[in-house]
Each structure stands twice: as structure tokens, then as C-alpha cells.
Amino acid sequence: KVMMEKVLWRRSMQLRDEQRSWQESRGGREMLEFRRSLPAYKEKDAVLSAISQNQVVIISGETGCGKTTQIPQFILETEIEAIRGAACNIICTQPRRISAMSVSERVAAERGEKLGESVGYKVRLEGVKGRDTHLLFCTTGILLRRLLVDRSLKGVSHVIVDEIHERGMNEDFLLIVLKDLLPRRPELKLILMSATLDAELFASYFGGSQIIHIPGFTYPVRTHFLEDILEMTGYRLTPYNQIDDYGQERMWKMSKQAPRKRKSQIASVVEDALKTADLKDYSLQTRESLSCWNPDSMGFNFIENLLCYICENEGPGAILVFMTGWDDISSLKDKLQAHPRLGDSTRVLLLACHGSMASSEQRLIFDEPEDGVRKIVLATNIAETSITINDVVFVLDCGKAKETSYDALNNTPCLLPSWISKVSSQQRRGRAGRVQPGECYHLYPRCVFDAFVEYQLPEILRTPLQSLCLQIKSLKLGSISEFLSRALQSPELLAVQNAIEYLKLIGALDENENLTVIGRYLTMLPVEPKLGKMLLIGAVLNCLDPVLTVVSGLSVRDPFLTPLDKKDLAEAAKSQFSRDYSDHLALIRAYEGWKNAERDYAGYDYCWKNFLSIQSMKAMDSLRKEFFSLLRDTGLVDANTTSNNEWSYDEHLIGAVICYGLYPGVCSIVNNGKSFSLKTMEDGQVLLYSNSVNSREAKIPFPWLIFNEKIKVNSVFLRDSTAVTDSALLLFGGSLSKGDSDGHLKMLGGYLEFFMKPAVADMYLCLRRELDDLIQD
Ligand code: ADP
Ligand code: MG
């Protein structure tokens, strides 16, 4: 023990000396000066003394004030100066992988080090961490996985949970677990950081912890709502007075107008427009009524026009455009690149910023462009609080973000762009005032802003809880509903029950809510339970290779691109991969084709020609490897195997595996001469997304369609589907666990009866029992 302490002490001394000599170098001095200019620096002593006196400290401060990069460093530096550096272990969680990566890189640079020395990061699939890493940035998911195997976080001295204002599901879950852990680890410090001021909620949750607020400074930002922008760019707004051809709600129509109207008149045009759209009482507007105002329908022309206006009429400074998601960003980027002024790379540096971009791509965002070049960044809401782009002067805010919401009554997840909250809108505006007074253009009228909710609903209250419930069980945290009742804000009982029912239905939990064998395996795989099930059965049935492709394809952004202006071409390209009425099999063929092309160094051309995303293909490639090695760890794949088992192409077998995973995602196909229709038990008639290969078929000669996901927009739409036979559904749909299979067999029988085929039911149920026994063995 004495030897150990000596080694630690010596290493701590070294760490201190290295850091001191960096701070005395020229680069180090400049960096220190920059760091001292940040608002967080002024609160350094207050923060450190609060941490030493309390187990839980909550720090709030405006985005960019230095919470993420400075606070963990303050702790590390204090420990290093006190010659305890080698013994401290700080974990700082980030809600997104891209911020974990960019922040760790930045902090290492501030310390004059390379990543992997005292600072490292770990996200799924990637990480840099060395023997001397004492400050680790990771995603919240990574810390939760660690808790699976290391319940008391041995050796960790500080846990910092960043961006808690976002109220993601993982963060809320982590807080319950940490709250239980704190009394057992009295020397462990917990620091929560938030970009908004709602610290009281967290403080009372942890029973009165100290709150520190870092006062920030931003330059004033001038706010323009749609009314003002229209005037500047010479547009006017007129309402459609009737329901349009598609039976949609009323939208507004924009038209270029020759003589500009005066500002007050424009404002009244917008007001009129809103009034005629039945928004009778402004003060009583609800979020629902806002769905009538649709910035998306203004199209990209409007944004393009506004960007031109800024480039031509305003001073220098980067422009940050908030969009709803990756697809919008990429279509707008394509459009702007074709524009004579904005696409001219000697004058404009056009960049995208979203959660799934590569690290090399993201570094460009922070670089300052050459003189005379205007930087334009198209971003999702990750640029709202977690990533700070320094030189932004102009912000365009479309007012929406894609969020998953969950309708517990229909048990259907919806992924729709929805209105952001007032707090988000203000955050977006604040991004413009970091280096000088800025301008923010909200692409919606003021009265729409007035109707925004104050805060966003926490994710735990609006998404399905299946993975969360499995995690609770595998961490042996007791009854699911009891555990969740201890959350900061507990989800509805109905949502919890739905999740538990689903897990029972797929055989992950038994009647008493205990993990089954399958459930235990599922918690080892970091994918949705349904995808995990596919991997398991793929391994068991020796057809893992194609299954790895399907599962990784469903875990990344859709590899089949459908640019709006080339929709037909793209869909035709996808349908070449289709032979057996299956999007999943099309995916396998597309991937195989890409692998072959890669061998001849023609992967890029291949993707371009076939409307495939090369990033998705590469991501699939690395996910396949990761899943394979995880499966080897579970022992289901022979540990000595180095490659996935050889694939003999058997589309029926693959269909069965898909059915095993995606059940109860099943609908019946009713072929009627020229066309077919689809029905599920819960929703009645459902439709296919137009990019499904099955939507191009006139007829599907199978009775069932297994689908990956259904999404409620106006009607219920199915994404990614595979047609299967009766036998596949009957033998592979539902749970294969022995103890409770009777219940599920009844349910399967119910499906049969529902679709009027009782005659064969008994025979299949018999077969099914035998197969269950076989697989269980
Ligand atoms: P907060 O977490 O409070 O939002 P950060 O600690 O992320 O703030 O950032 C503090 C400051 O550090 C930012 O205002 C920015 O000036 C600078 N900064 C952060 N990341 C980078 C980076 N990758 N490159 C250059 N500067 C950065
Ligand atoms: Mg931060």
C-alpha cells in the first residue's frame, strides 16, 4: 500500500510540473488568458468551495460561459496542485456523442496535451483514454452501462452531469440511480450543470443542495420576427382562404411583392392571415392551433433569400441556421451549393452541424474562415446549448425541432417536427450575441412565439419506456413502477404498463416482471429490444451476417436517401434492390453491393449512383463489427470465430428472423385485384411510406407484412417492412420463452381468428410449442 501511494504521489508531482511548465509557455499563457476571460473563471473559488462542502452542487450559467470546459478542469487542477492528481477520477457526461468528443478535444488543447493524456472521451464505438486519464467525457449512456457492471462507481471521485436542463431520458434515469448511490458513497461528489435557471427543481430533488449561478455576458441581440423579415426581403404573406387540395389545414402562401409595404402594414397582413385561419382568440391559442402556421411550407427559397440578404446588406460574422433535422439540412445544403452567390466557395464557407457527423467534419465548425469569407452553419438544436460556435453574429431560427413524442393511449411513437419552447427560442437567439451585438431572425410571427410553452416536456414523459424498463431490471433496481415513481417527474402509469406489457409480449420479462433469459441477453446489447432479439435469433439460427446488416442499418440514419427534388429517381434506385417484397432485404443487397464496390475503390460512385448515404454505409460497417464482438462476449457466438458466419442467402429464414424481432409489428395484407390495403388490429387501415419498396408494388403475394415502426402523422404510416408467410408469423412471432408461451400463443391464435383463418390455427399452435421447446433447449 505504501508503495502504491508513493507511485501515485510521484505521478501526481509529474502531472503538476507538466501543467505548470505548459502554463509558462507562450501558448499556455495565451490559453490561460482566454480561460480567465470566461465568466466561469470569476466563480472558480465559489464553485470549488461549494464542491468541497457539499455532496451535490448545481451550477447554472448561460451557454458559452465555460461550464463544460472549465468546471471539470477547475476540479482537476485543484487536485493536481494538491498533489492528488493521480488519484482523482472525474467523469463528465454529455447527452450527445458529438459534444463529448468536441469538448474533450478542446479541454485537452487548453491543457496543452493530446487527447488520451489527462483528458479522454468515450462514446459508443469510439473513445480515447490512457493510463493517465483523470478526466473522462462520455455520453450518459456510457456511464449507465458502466453502472451495470460497477454499481458503486469504484474509484470515481466526481460525477458531473452536464446539460441537465435538456431533461433527456438517460439523464433523468441516471439521476435516480445516483440519488440512491450517494448515501452509499459519501465521498463521491455530484455536480449538475444546466444552461437554464430552473435549478430549484433539481436542488429540492436532492434534498437541498447548493446552487451556484454564473452570471453571463452577451451582447444585445436584435430580434426580428417574420413580419419584419418579410418586409426586408420584399415578400408578402397571404392566406389560402380555403382548405387546399390535399385537405390539409390552412397554410399561408408567400408571394414576392413588387413595391414593399411599410412595416406596420406587413404586420397587419400577418395578423389578418392568422385571424382568417380561425385563430379567433389570440390569448387562448394552444399549441395545437399553432400547427396551422407552418414554416416548412415557406420552403427553402425563403431561407435562401434571407441568407442572400444578410450576405449583401449586413456586416461580417458567421450565420447559424437552426433547422429541424438532418434531412432538411442536407437538402438545404444541396440547394445553397447550387446558388451562384451562396454556393461560391471563395465567398461562403457552408457547413452542417448535426449529431451524426464525423469528428473531422465537426472540427471545421469551430475554425474561423479567411477574411472576406462568410461562414454559414446549418445546425440542428445541438447548437442550441451544447456546442458553442464563437463567431456567430446572425441566427436564423425556424422555430421547430424534431422530437419524439409518445402517445400512451395509442402506444405509437411519433417523430414530428414540433414547436420549440420559449426557453429554446431564447437560447437560439442568445447564440448571436457572443462576440458583438447580433441579429436573430425568427421565421415565425411574434404571436406564434407568444404561444410557445415555457419549457419542453422531459423526455421520460413523452417517449416509450421499454429500454429504460429493461435497464431498471438488469440493474436490479426493484419494481419498475416503484423505481420510476422516484424520478424527478414520473411518467404516466399507463406508459409504464404499456412498456412492461410489450416486454412481456416479446418474452423479455416473465409474468412476475423478472428478466427472462432473452431479457438478460437483451440488456447486454445496446440496441432497442426488437433489434437485440434479431441479433440473438440470428446467432442461434446461424444466419448472423445478413442480420447484422439489417440491425445496423436500422440503427443508423436511413441509408436510402430521398432528396426532395429527385424523389422518383431515388425511389426507383431503391426498388432495384427489391426482389422479395422487403425493405430489409433491399438494405442487405444495397450494403453487399457497396462492400463489393469498396473492394474496387468504387464505393463512393456506387453510393452516388444508387442514392445511398456513404456515411450511413460506413456507420453500418462499424456497427456490424461492434455488434458482432458484443455477441461474442455474450457467448452466443463461438469465441474463436473471427468473422461472421458465412451467409447462404435464404430470404425465408431472414424473413423469419425479422418477424421474430419485430413482432408484434404486424399487419395483414388484403389484396384486391389491382391493389392492396393494409390493416393492423389496433389501428385498422394503415399506409406505407412512399420510400418503402412495397409501396411501389401493385400486389403482395403474402398474407402478412412485418414492420419496423409505425408513425402517426395524419394517418398511421409504416416504415421499413418485410412480407412474410403464415408459417413465419406463427412460428416466429411473439415470445419463445417456455414459461409463459401459452399466453402469447393465444394472442397469435387471436391474430389468426381476427383474420378469419381459424382452421389452421390448432396445427400451427402445436408446431409452435415444439419449436419453442427446441429453441429453449
Ligand atoms: P458552456 O458549457 O458554459 O456552454 P463551454 O465550456 O462549452 O461553455 O465553452 C466556453 C467557451 O470556450 C466558449 O464560449 C468558447 O468560446 C470556447 N470554446 C469551447 N469549445 C471550443 C472549441 N472547440 N474551439 C474553440 N473554442 C471553444
Ligand atoms: Mg456546455
Contacts of 264 (CB under 8 A, 6+ apart): none
Q: How many whole angstroms from 38 Cα to the centroid of ligand 1?
A: 9
Instruction: Flag whether the ipTM exceeds 0.95.
Output: yes
Choose the weakest-confidence range: 250-259, 308-317, 392-401, 507-516.
Answer: 250-259
Rounded percentage of the chain residues whose pLDDT exceeds 70 = 81
> Which one of the ligands is nearest to 216 CA?
1
Q: Is the pLDDT of residue 239 over 70?
A: no
pLDDT at 459: 86
Q: How many whole angstroms from 72 Cα to the centroid of ligand 1?
A: 13
Grid coordinates given for 338: 447550387
pLDDT at 149: 82
Q: Is the pLDDT of residue 645 over 50?
A: yes
E strand residue ranges, 288-437: 318-322, 348-353, 374-379, 392-397, 400-407, 412-419
Q: Which residues pair with 483 in a beta bridge?
A: none
What is the pLDDT confidence band of residue 259, given thresholds at 50, 70 and 90?
Answer: very low
Q: Is the pLDDT of residue 242 over 50?
A: no
Helix, strand, or coil here: 130?
coil
What is the pLDDT confidence band of residue 410, given thresholds at 50, 70 and 90?
Answer: very low
Of the ranges 18-22, 207-211, 260-264, 751-755, the best mean pLDDT one: 18-22
**Residue 509 DSSP code:** B
Question: How do strand 135-139 and strand 119-123 relate by DSSP bridges?
Answer: parallel
Q: Is the pLDDT of residue 126 over 90?
A: no
Could you tell me which residue, 739 or 62, shows the higher pLDDT? 62
Q: Is the pLDDT of residue 244 over 50?
A: no
- Ligand 1 atom closest to the Cα of residue 434 is 14
Contact 68 CB / ligand 1 (< 6 Å) = yes
Backbone conformation region of residue 190, classed left if phi is above 0, alpha if psi is from -120 to 50, else beta: beta
Rounded CA separation 111/109 (Å):
5
What is the pLDDT confidence band of residue 285, given thresholds at 50, 70 and 90?
Answer: very low
Rounded CA separation 207/578 (Å):
58
Q: How many whole angstroms from 366 Cα to the centroid of ligand 1?
A: 10
Rounded CA separation 549/544 (Å):
9
Could you tell me which residue, 381 or 137, shows the higher pLDDT? 137
> Which one of the ligands is nearest to 65 CA?
1
Q: How many whole angstroms from 437 Cα to the centroid of ligand 1?
A: 19
Backbone conformation region of residue 286, classed left if phi is above 0, alpha if psi is from -120 to 50, else beta: beta
pLDDT at 647: 54
pLDDT at 253: 46
Rounded CA separation 72/79 (Å):
11
- Ligand 1 atom closest to the Cα of residue 69 is 6
pTM of this structure: 0.75
Q: Whose CA is nearest to atom 7 of ligand 1?
A: 68
What is the pLDDT confidence band of residue 500, given thresholds at 50, 70 and 90?
Answer: very high
What is the pLDDT confidence band of residue 380, given thresholds at 50, 70 and 90?
Answer: confident
Per-residue pLDDT, averaged over 325-347, amounts to 86
What is the pLDDT confidence band of residue 448, given thresholds at 50, 70 and 90?
Answer: confident
Q: Is the pLDDT of residue 155 over 80?
A: yes
Summarize pLDDT for 654-671 with one digit per residue, the tens.
999 999 899 888 888 888
Q: Is the pLDDT of residue 434 over 80?
A: yes
pLDDT at 646: 55
Summarize pLDDT for 688-713 with one digit per residue, the tens.
988 899 988 888 999 889 998 888 77
Per-residue pLDDT, averaged over 293-303, amounts to 57
Mean pLDDT of the chain: 81
pLDDT at 254: 46
Grid coordinates given for 565: 427534388
Per-residue pLDDT, averaged over 175-186, amounts to 94
Helix, strand, or coil here: 680?
strand
Contact 204 CB / ligand 1 (< 6 Å) = no
Q: Is the pLDDT of residue 642 over 70?
A: no
Of the ranges 11-15, 329-333, 590-594, the best mean pLDDT one: 590-594
Choose the weakest-confidence range: 228-237, 353-362, 399-408.
Answer: 399-408
Give the largest Cα separation in the chain, rounded: 85
pLDDT at 469: 93
Contact 216 CB / ligand 1 (< 6 Å) = no
Contact 106 CB / ligand 1 (< 6 Å) = yes
What is the pLDDT confidence band of residue 59, given thresholds at 50, 70 and 90?
Answer: very high
Q: Is the pLDDT of residue 383 over 90?
A: no
pLDDT at 403: 63
Q: How many whole angstroms from 578 Cα to the centroid of ligand 1?
A: 47
pLDDT at 384: 87
Could you tell me which residue, 410 or 338, shows the higher pLDDT? 338
Q: CA-CA distances (angstroms) from residue 327 to 302, 400, 680?
A: 18, 14, 29
Per-residue pLDDT, averaged over 76-90, amounts to 86
pLDDT at 747: 56
Rounded CA separation 621/702 (Å):
31
- Ligand 1 atom closest to the Cα of residue 386 is 4
pLDDT at 644: 55
Q: What's the full length of the chain, in residues?
A: 777
Rounded percentage of the chain residues whose pLDDT exceeds 90 = 36
DSSP 220-258: -EEEE-HHHHHHHHTEEEEE--S--TT-PPP-EEEEE-S
